[in-house]
Structures are given as structure tokens and as C-alpha cells.
Amino acid sequence: MPSEHILCDSLRGRHHATKVLVIGAGGNGSATFLQLPYLHQALRVWGHAGLHVELADGDLVSETNCVRQPFAASDVGVNKATVLVNRVNLFWGLDWHASPHHFRNTSLKDYNGSPDVVISCVDTRAARATIADVLTTSRNGVAYWLDLGNNAASGQYILGQPLNDRNRRKRSRLRTVVELYPEIASSWFGEDALPSCSAVEAIQRQEPYINQVLATSALSMMARLFRYGKIGHHGAFYNAESGRMHSMPVDPELWKSTQRRSRGFLKKSQLQTA
């Protein structure tokens, strides 16, 4: 039966900023990162200390990125994370950080303590698998993992609590995207096609505004969690063709059935490719 998720105690009424690590500065990552200052401002109005954000990505801006990502011709050849963080800091007067490197198994060892929230916006199964492995190590202290992903005309965002030292094993713990849909991080399915190398191909492979819809919807959910201390859903699926958004309720029974179905699908796929 659907219920509500209550904000973890360690993030309630905080007198210091909530640390957020955004992994990926592409379509979803850039859209999410550029919206985070609005959440930061809202939190401060609500009496919270706000956010301190780090953006991690090792890619350089290409000409193709200027088609549907927030980069200009003058940014070509510069690291994506560096461009976006400099832009946000100058406009908002913030002191957020850029990490011009891809996320790896050892990335959090150099981080200033575990982030409170990790937002992943990656486009490969291998990258999600790496993130899942890191966030579920016993000594990890990440409270929430928000994952965004999409294809040409649809996408999803799912908020979970990685099973680690900060999130104990219990029925009410929000399941992560990898727990609910293990195929999203499974090497059995291979990887998607390589990034598009032309402006025409970029638009054909992904319709405009998918990233912005997912980013604003995901952060709207996070804003409600911080403001009211609870949410009744922890993700959603968006279809641009139909214009419909279907939310994922906080429902342990639904999680069980979803996990059974996903495990069955994964096992069947492995047998077929064996």
C-alpha cells in the first residue's frame, strides 16, 4: 500500500549546507545543475543553510553539444563542468566546485567527506554500475541517490537510499534505480550507440526539452521533500509523445513486484544471450 517517505533525520533543520554531487554535465546533468541554484535559494528562504554543489564530468564541450545543451561556440574545447560551474558562480555569487574528471571507484576518496545527495546523469550502464558499487560500500555516507536517464522521447528519474552505513536495511528504505531496474546497470545489455557526431543526428536521437522536463520535475520533488519533510512519490516516468508523466509511489509492495519482474527479465535476457 502506498505510503510516505520521511526526510532522513540528518538532513532536517540543518545549520550547514547540504552537500550535493552531480555526476555528468551532459543533457540531464547540465539541465539539473542549472536549476539547483533555485532550490538553494528556496532552502535559504525556508531557513535551511542551502546547498553546496560539486559538478563532475571529464568531457570537453564539442560543437555538437551546442545544439541541445547549454553551451556556446566559445565554450568548445573547455571542460563541461568548469564552464557550467563558472557560469553559475558568477551569476549567483556562489562558491560551487567543478571536478573536471569522470567518476571512478576512487572518486569519493578525494571528496570533502561523503556528499549527502548524489545526482547521477550518466548515459552508460557501466557508469551507473560504478556509481551503484561506490554508493553501497559499507563505509559510504550518502543519504540519497537521485538518478536521471532518458532515450529519444522518454525518460525517468528515481530517488533512492543506497544501502550503506547511513541507510540501514529496512522495509521503508527507498529502493534505488539499480535495485528496481538492474538491467539499467547490467553489462548483458551492452551499451547504447556512441554519442552523435553531427547536429542533425543529435536532434534525431533526442527530442528537445526532455532533459529540462526531467530536471525540473525531479528537483520539484526534492524541494517538497526538503520543505515538507515528506513525499508520496520518489520518481516518475515521462513520455514526450503522449505528454504523460507517471509517478512512482512510495510503496514497498510495488518495489517487491518490480524487483521480481526485473530479475525475471534480466535472467531471461542472460539465458537468451548465453
Residue type, 94: L
Q: What angle do CA 149, 218, 184 make, to 5 degrees?
A: 25
What does the angle CA 166 – CA 57 – CA 120 come to, to the nearest 5 degrees?
Answer: 40
Does the global pTM surpass 0.85? yes
pLDDT at 106: 86
Task: Strands of 133-261 (E only): list them.
Answer: 144-150, 154-160, 230-231, 233-239, 244-249
Q: Where are the beta strands (DSSP E) in 102-256?
A: 117-120, 144-150, 154-160, 230-231, 233-239, 244-249
Query: Is 9-273 a CATH 3.40.50.720 domain?
Result: yes
CA–CA dist 240, 224 (Å, integer): 24
Q: What does the alpha-carbon distance between residue 10 and residue 167 come to, in Å, rounded to a whole number? A: 11
- Predicted local confidence at residue 183, as pLDDT: 87
Give the per-residue pLDDT at 111: 66
Closest of 170, 162, 95, 173 to residue 134, by C-alpha: 162
Confidence at residue 200, expressed as pLDDT on a 0 to 100 scale: 46
How high is the pLDDT of residue 198?
45
Tens of pLDDT along the chain (274 residues)? 669 999 998 898 778 899 999 999 999 999 999 999 999 999 999 999 999 999 999 999 999 999 889 999 999 999 999 999 999 999 999 999 999 999 998 888 766 668 999 999 998 999 999 999 999 987 888 999 999 999 889 999 999 999 998 998 999 999 999 999 998 887 655 555 445 444 445 545 678 899 999 999 999 999 999 999 999 999 999 999 999 999 999 999 999 999 888 777 666 665 555 5
Q: What is the pLDDT of residue 264?
A: 72
- Residue length, the chain? 274
Q: What is the model's pLDDT at position 197?
A: 46
Report DSSP state, residue 250.
B
